[in-house]
Amino acid sequence: MRNPPHRPTTESPGVRIAATLVCFLFLGVFLVLPLVAVFVEAFGKGVSAYFASFQDPDALAAIRLTLTIAIIAVPLNLVFGIAASWAIAKFEFKGKSLLITLIDLPFSVSPVVAGLVFVLLFGAQGLLGPWLIAHRIEVIFALPGIVLATIFVTFPFVARELIPLMQDQGTSDEEAALTLGASGFMAFWTVTLPNVRWALLYGVLLCNARAMGEFGAVAVVSGHIRGETNTMPLHVEILYNEYNFVAAFAVASLLALLALLTLAAKSFLEWRYGDAIAGRAAH
Amino acid sequence: MVPTRERRQTRFRFRRPSAIPGFPLAFGYTLTYLGLIVLIPLATLVMRASTLGFSGLWNVVTDERVLSALRISFGLSFGAAFLNAFFGLVVAWVLVRYDFPGRKLLHAAVDLPFALPTAVAGIALAALYAPNGWLGEPLSHLGIKVAYTPLGIFIALVFVGLPFAVRTVEPLIAEIDREIEEASATLGATRSQTLWRVVLPPLAPAILTGFALAFARAVGEYGSVIFIAGNIPYISEIAPILIVIRLEEFNYAGATGIAVVMLAISFATLLVINLIQTWSRRRFGDA
Amino acid sequence: MEIRVEHLSKDFAETAALRDVSVTVRSGELMALLGPSGSGKTTLLRVIAGLEVPDEGRVLFGDEDATHVPVQNRGVGFVFQHYALFRHMTVTQNISYGLRVRRRADRPGADEIDTRVRSLLALVQLEGLGARFPAQLSGGQRQRVALARALAVEPRVLLLDEPFGALDAKVRKDLRRWLREIHEHTGQTTVFVTHDQDEALELADRVAILKDGRIEQVGTPEQVHETPATPFVMSFIGDTTRLPVRARGGSLWYEETPLSLAAPDQGDGPTDLYLRPWDVAFADTAEAGTLSGTILTIRRSAAGRRASISLIPSGQIIEVELPIASLAAVRDPILLRILRGKAFPASEQRGA
């Protein structure tokens, strides 16, 4: 009892060290090791083999397609996120919590099911299939289908970052702007948007990472046509299944890099603008 | 004056009037977009399933291979979510409470499964746990086979669910008032009594929510699983893969049947999460 | 239980430091630790409780050296500033917590726990609210639950950190009186921290005044009010004006006016004279020892009226309580006589 006791609000040093080791081991095995494996495998046959993987026109087509999808899907979900959070955070109406639940719904739907619903809607056997064929409009196994599936799975990202934050901020800023003679649009542009800009950027980053990396939903609707409907993740799959591991991991390393950049930007935003991002319950 | 106001209060009103403009546009756009992208497509699935009829659906779902795939999916997802709930709590506690070199880096790394495309995670895990992989080889000497077995699926599901388990409890641990723990200590409780009786109970709803989110994510997971699973029917074939296989066979009825079951599970999980949160709000005053 | 604190020092980043603090809390006494924020009063309380370990010095409970006894075994009841109630437990569960976490051998039976909770609920006047959760109580009720919880373990000493800080003025007054009654009823050795001098003077048997981690004075409310040991105590307890004067030949002079006040023993030289608003009276005629001035402002407070008076010709401003019948108005010239005051050798930095 002579020993000065450790602070009463923490565990004994032994427990602390053990728990920290468990934390390192668990995260190390489950998170860090796979990430390291991607880059090690990609450079396994040397740097030239790595860069040779990007000479393949199909790889370049996959990169182009992935960028195209993100450029279409992310802005659409951004506009939706702003509209939804404006309606939900600035107004009181019946059924609001149901609406929030519905917006979150795509998060809990399997990506494969997400892809399937579009096949059932637009596929040859689908509800609108015969009409689309008659008018020679391609949705499934083509760009529109892939974009739709991507929008579905990335649907809630921007909205769910903005809604809690804008609910916390209330309506007094906007009301102040209105009393000073601002139009509704001006109030939004000059007061609301600056208040939420970092959360918005945060949501866009996450949305973009998922849009570029989506696999399951896109796999179902794409048809895996090389050079045409293959996104980067799908191209990784094809290369891997062909035992072309260096090329598979090389393309994968680009996606992993995107993930790392996203995480870095996310950590920076949290560190620098933590208060400006956090609503009551972010995740 | 007074009677009008009273009448106004009793009359059903969809929206409380507000000086702020833009509601019809924002709300209308939200509903339209939500309907077109999410609700109508999901409704199509349910409609399609209903054309199968109850017996048709029953036949699809009670197919031996489907049943075993559902069992594998739900069983392994449950296990993975359980493991994540436990280790997620430890990880969150360590990240919030202890200071050590590399803490910030680990903190950022927790979100990796959110950001890393599932296919990339899938091939990385497959490479790691393959019989000649960094982890697969030492494990195979111990007689443990990971790749192409349910254990491989389990590992992939732990990977994808991890951030949910950590991120739901982390902010609550950060919010715990140290005074609470001090109060417990002044009343004579040992540290483990304090943790068990005072710290843990308020975290329970968050732990459950994290568990449910990790479970929901794991049940639907596809990309990170298919490479490591080997997809052997009755052994390592999960429900989402079976949907894809049925689609490739142009067996839309089969695919739809499995999908509807999975969708129902998604809804049920969402409902459970909402119930947990309502309950905890009522009990503790806030979320 | 007598509590002695001997030569306590503590230095660290997050909380206010303590520097060689020694004080004795007598058995059965109600003592206030009074000081501005950052004075170390809460740190002192937490060291007594065992929530902080001192760098140097000892804490004695009676004759037992408790310095390194863990908080769990120290037998203190601690009421936290924000109550720290366990929000997932009912009022009853909160109060009985300290009994339920005891080892089986020391744990009272369920019936006894029940009886004790009941009597505590009665003591803190919360009968019938045992099944509520903290979120369903008002601030004053939570405060009382926190007190009952601390008393349930039959502590050797009761420690309260800013017990009324988070309550509104009316509730605070009621609880103050009620805490005094409880103390008289239980006879429990009690130490509480406050920054509110009224609270300390009204409630405590003795007051310890802290500043910058040191004890300035320990005494009864009467002593610290009437015979403050330092200028800080004088100015912290009640309103004061400092008048720069000079000691010359055994008496005090304000500029060229002799004040009929004896100088302190320190000999001739610059001296600070501290005045309460009622230490100054109005004079009708100019004579030896009267000062002249002009009324700058008059303020009404709940207790009376206060005038700020600018002395002629120095411009020095002093605060004076106006007599009830006074008809004095702003800008009136006025004559003043200093009746009493407390003189200390002039502090280093002269100024405001």
Model confidence pLDDT, tens digit, residues B175-205:
888 889 999 999 989 889 999 999 999 899 8
Tokens of C3: 């509590």
Quote the pLDDT of residue C292. 87
Question: DSSP of A148-207, one letter per residue?
Answer: HHHHHHHTTHHHHHHHHHHHHH-SHHHHHHHHTT--HHHHIIIIIHHHHHHHHHHHHHHH
Q: Which residue has the higher pLDDT, C302 or C43?
A: C43
Tokens 């609503």 locate to A279
Residues of B in contact with A240 (CB under 8 A): 123, 126, 227
Please report all neighbours of C, defined by 3+ CB atom pairs within 8 A: A, B
Catalogue the long-range contacts made by C205-209 (C-beta closer than 8 Å, 24 or more residues apart).
C205/C29, C205/C30, C205/C31, C206/C26, C206/C29, C206/C31, C206/C32, C207/C31, C207/C32, C207/C34, C208/C23, C208/C31, C208/C32, C208/C33, C208/C34, C209/C34, C209/C35, C209/C233, C209/C236, C209/C237
pLDDT surpassing 70 at residue C351 = no
pLDDT at A114 over 90: yes
Token pair belonging to C64: 């037992």
User: In this predicted model, what pLDDT tens digit does every residue of B55-91 receive, in sequence order?
Assistant: 888 888 889 999 999 999 999 999 999 999 999 999 9
Work out the minimum CA distance from A276 to partner chain B, whole angstroms: 16
Query: What's the pLDDT score for residue B9?
Result: 47
- pLDDT score recorded for residue B164: 93
User: For residue B156, what is the nearest residue in chain A, using CA coordinates?
Assistant: A30
Q: Is the peptide bond before C313 cis (omega within 30 degrees of 0)?
A: yes
- Is residue C285's pLDDT more than 50? yes
Distance from CA of A103 to the nearest CA of B (A): 7
Neighbours of chain A (3+ CB pairs under 8 A): B, C
CB distance from C68 to chain A under 8 Å? yes
Q: Report whether A213 contacts B116 (CB < 8 A).
A: yes
Give the CA distances from residue A245 to residues A227, A252, B80, in Å, rounded to whole numbers and listed in that order. 19, 10, 28
Residues in C touching A5 (Cβ below 8 Å): 50, 53, 68, 70-71
CB contacts of C74 in chain B (<8 Å) are 186
CB pairs B-C closer than 8 Å: 74
Residue B7: CB atoms within 10 A of its CB come to: 9
pTM to 2 decimal places: 0.82
Kind plus residue range of the DSSP H or E element containing C20: strand C18-25
Distance of CA A151 to the CA centre of its chain: 10
pLDDT the model gives residue C252: 85
SS3 C233: helix
What is the distance in angstroms between the Cα of C10 and the nearest Cα belonging to chain A? 14
- Any CB–CB contact under 8 A between B95 and chain A? yes
- Quote the pLDDT of residue C221: 93
Listed in order, the ranges of chain C carrying CATH 2.40.50.140 are 239-349
Q: B-chain residues within 8 Å CB-CB of C87?
A: 202, 284-285
End-to-end CA distance of chain A: 44
Say whether pLDDT at B242 is over 60.
yes
Shortest distance, CA B110 to any CA of chain C (angstroms): 29
Please say whether the dihedral angle defined by the alpha carbons of residues C275, C276, C279 and C281, taken in this order, is positive or negative.
Answer: positive
A-contacting residues in B 207-266 (Cβ below 8 Å): 216-217, 219-223, 227, 240-241, 243-244, 247, 250, 252, 255-256, 259, 262-263, 266
Q: Which subunits count as partners of chain B given 3+ CB pairs below 8 Å?
A: A, C
- pLDDT band per the 50, 70, 90 thresholds, residue C249: confident
On whether residue B25 sits in a domain, the answer given is: no
Per CB-CB distance under 8 Å, the chain C contacts of A2 are 68
- Contact across the interface for B202 and C87, Cβ inside 8 Å: yes
Chain A to chain B, count of Cβ pairs less than 8 Å apart? 304
Rounded Cα gap, residues B158 and B168, in angstroms: 16
The boundaries of every CATH 3.40.50.300 domain in chain C are: 3-235
What's the DSSP call for residue C313? T
Mean pLDDT of chain B: 88
Alpha helices in chain C (DSSP H): 41-49, 91-100, 110-123, 139-152, 169-186, 197-203, 221-226, 231-236
Within B98-199, where are the H helices? Answer: 103-109, 112-115, 118-129, 136-141, 150-175, 178-186, 191-194
Nearest to A3 among C50, C68, C72 (CB): C68
Nearest CA in chain A to B34: A103
pLDDT at A172: 80
Helix (H, G, I), strand (E, B) or coil at C288: coil
The pairing of beta strand C76-79 with beta strand C269-275: unpaired
Q: Decide if B131 is inside a domain.
A: yes
d(CA C124, CA C193): 20
Nearest to B154 by CA among B80, B74, B104: B80
Q: How far is B35 from chain A (nearest CA, A)?
A: 10
Q: Is C291 helix (H, G, I), strand (E, B) or coil?
A: strand
Q: What is the ipTM of this complex?
A: 0.89
Cβ-contact A263, B149 below 8 angstroms:
no
Return the ∠ at Cα B173 (arms to B171 and B179), rounded to 5°: 125
Please return the burial class of A144, using the count of CB atoms within 10 Å of its CB with bins 0-12, 13-18 and 19+. middle
Q: How far is CA C210 from CA A138, B52, C35, C194, C240, in A?
A: 82, 82, 5, 11, 18
CA B193 to each of CA A74, C98, C101: distance values in angstroms, whole numbers, following the listed order: 49, 11, 7
Contact predicate C131/C90, CB 8 Å: yes
pLDDT value for B277? 81
Closest CA to A234 of B118, B255, B243, B221: B118
Residue B98 domain-assigned? yes
Chain B contact set for C134 (CB, 8 A): 285
Better pLDDT: A205 or A274: A205
Angle between helices B200-220 and B64-97 (to 10 degrees): 140
Look up the domain containing B89 and give its range: 61-286
Helix (H, G, I), strand (E, B) or coil at C40: coil
Mutate to test the interface with A, among B11, B15, B16, B30 (most CBs of A within 10 A): B30
Q: Which of A203, A113, A199 is nearest to A154 (CA)?
A: A203
A105 HSE (CA, 13 A, CB side): 23
Of B190, B198, B202, the CB nearest to C72: B190
Start-to-end C-alpha separation, chain B: 40
Best interface-test mutation with B: which of C46, C47, C51, C153 has the largest number of B CBs within 10 A? C51
Mutate to test the interface with B, among C53, C80, C103, C138 (most CBs of B within 10 A): C80
Cα A241 to chain center, whole Å?
A: 26
- CB distance B120–A111 less than 8 Å? no
pLDDT of residue A242: 92
β-partners of residue C319 are: C308
- A257 vs A68, A249, A250, A263, B144, CA distance in Å? 18, 12, 11, 10, 32
CA distance C15 to chain A (A): 14
**B29 within a domain of the structure (yes/no):** no
Q: Which residue has the higher pLDDT, A7 or B49?
A: B49
> What pLDDT was estimated at residue B12?
64
| Cα–Cα separations (whole angstroms), residue A45 to A48, A55, A244, A251, C205 | 8, 16, 12, 14, 83
Bridge partners of C10? C18
| Whether A109 and B220 lie within 8 Å, measured CB to CB | yes
Report chain B residues whose CB lies below 8 A from the CB of C102: 188
Tokens of B92: 């969150």
Q: Which residues 6+ apart lie within 8 Å of B124 measured at CB? A: A34, A35, A37, A38, A41, A252
* Confidence band of A6 (pLDDT split at 50, 70, 90): low
In this predicted model, what pLDDT tens digit does every residue of A198-216 receive, in sequence order? 889 989 999 999 999 999 9
Task: State residue C13's pLDDT score.
Answer: 63
CB burial of residue C289 (10 Å; 0-12, 13-18, 19+): middle
Q: State percent of chain B over pLDDT 90.
A: 56
B20 touching A (Cβ < 8 Å):
yes
Residue B168 covered by a domain = yes
Q: Would the CB atoms of C84 and B201 count as touching at under 8 Å?
A: no
**Parallel, antiparallel or unpaired: strands C342-345 and C269-275:** antiparallel
Contact (CB, 8 A) for B127 and B228: no
The per-residue pLDDT for C253 is 84
B99 burial via Cβ count (<10 Å: 0-12, 13-18, 19+): exposed
In whole angstroms, give the CA distance from residue B216 to residue B163: 13
Tally Cβ neighbours within 10 Å of residue A51.
Answer: 10
- Selected for mutation to probe chain B from C101, C103, C138, C151 (highest B CB count within 10 Å) is C101
A245 chain-B contacts, CB cut-off 8 A = 127
List CB contacts of C100: < 8 A, sequence separation 6 or more: C107, C113
Q: Enumerate residues 129 to 148 of chain B having a beta carbon within 8 A of any beta carbon in chain A.
A: 133-135
B109 close contact with A: CB closer than 8 A: yes
Query: Can you give the CATH number for the domain in which B205 is found?
Result: 1.10.3720.10
pLDDT at B274: 82
Q: Which residue of A lies nearest to B185 if distances are taken between CA atoms?
A: A8
Q: How far is C351 from chain B (nearest CA, A)?
A: 41
Q: What is the pLDDT of residue C166?
A: 72
- CB distance A224 to A231 below 8 Å: no
Place of tokens 């427990």: A15
Statement: residue B2 has pLDDT above 50: no
Topology given in CATH for the domain delimited by C3-235: Rossmann fold (3.40.50)
Task: Give C71 to chain B, closest Cα distance, Å.
Answer: 6
CB contact under 8 A, B98 and A34: no
Tokens of A42: 């990609």
Is the CATH code 2.40.50.140 the one for domain C239-349? yes
C-alpha span between C90 and C145 (Å, rounded) = 10
Higher-confidence position of B77 and C291: B77
- Whether the pLDDT of residue B140 is over 80: the answer is yes
Cβ-contact B118, B222 below 8 angstroms: yes
The verdict on residue B219 lying in a domain is yes
Q: How many domains does chain B have?
A: 1
**Whole-angstrom Cα distance, residue A117 to residue B43?**
9
- Chain A contact for C54, CB < 8 A? no
B28 is a domain residue: no
Q: CA-CA distance, A213 to A154, in Å (whole number)?
A: 10
